[in-house]
Amino acid sequence: MATPFEPLDPAFESRVRESYARQRLLTTLGATLERVAPGEVDIRLPFRPDLAQQHGYMHAGAMTSVVDTACGYAALTLMPPDAAVLSVEFKVNLLAPGRGEAIVARARVLKPGRTLSVVRGDVFALDRGEEKLVATMLATMMVVRDRGLSG
């Protein structure tokens, strides 16, 4: 499936994957980077009891961490090679309990920019082969340069 964006960095995918490998929180949570394309990133998080809230559903904090990360990396795929990315704002709507075997966060850039990019991230709960939208994020990501940051 073709994306509507042309990356500024021909090595965008390896840069995203190398940066993701340094994500200590996502490693701790057990999240995996599933897909990287220009302006698009998918991250999967298997359900574990220690990631649940008091009612047994996936904790909103875990889901938000995963979708924020997916949004950041989706924006990074369209940034120049010398750029890094930071979240500057996001809003999450929790639409349904996160229950099932896993969640997957699918982030898609809506509007890339030289300084700020707007990204949408949807979180789907995967349960017995079915997907259900459980959260959606609208995020603003900032390009950061020359500050010793890498990805």
Q: Does residue 2 lie within any of the structural domains?
A: no
Q: Does residue 119 lie within any of the structural domains?
A: yes
Q: Does residue 39 lie within any of the structural domains?
A: yes
What is the pLDDT, as a whole number, of residue 6? 92
Q: Does residue 6 lie within any of the structural domains?
A: no
Q: Does residue 7 lie within any of the structural domains?
A: no
Q: Does residue 43 lie within any of the structural domains?
A: yes
Long-range contacts of 25-33 (CB under 8 A, 24+ apart): 25/65, 26/65, 26/66, 26/69, 29/62, 29/65, 29/66, 31/66, 31/69, 33/73
Query: For residue 43, what is the domain's CATH number?
Result: 3.10.129.10
One digit per residue, the tens of pLDDT, for the chain of length 151 reads 567 899 999 999 999 999 999 999 999 999 999 999 999 999 999 999 999 999 999 999 999 999 999 999 999 999 999 999 999 999 999 999 999 999 999 999 999 999 999 999 999 999 999 999 999 999 999 999 865 555 5
What is the pLDDT, as a whole number, of residue 2? 61
What is the pLDDT, as a whole number, of residue 86? 96
What is the pLDDT, as a whole number, of residue 149? 57
What is the pLDDT, as a whole number, of residue 147? 59
Query: What is the span of the domain harbouring residue 122?
Result: 12-145
User: Is the Cβ–Cβ distance between 33 and 15 less than 8 Å?
Assistant: no
Query: What are the φ and ψ backbone dihedral angles of 63, each rounded to 5 degrees?
Result: -65, -40
Spatial separation of the C-alpha atoms in residues 137 and 116, rounded to whole Å: 16
Total domains in the fold of the chain: 1
What is the pLDDT, as a whole number, of residue 145? 86
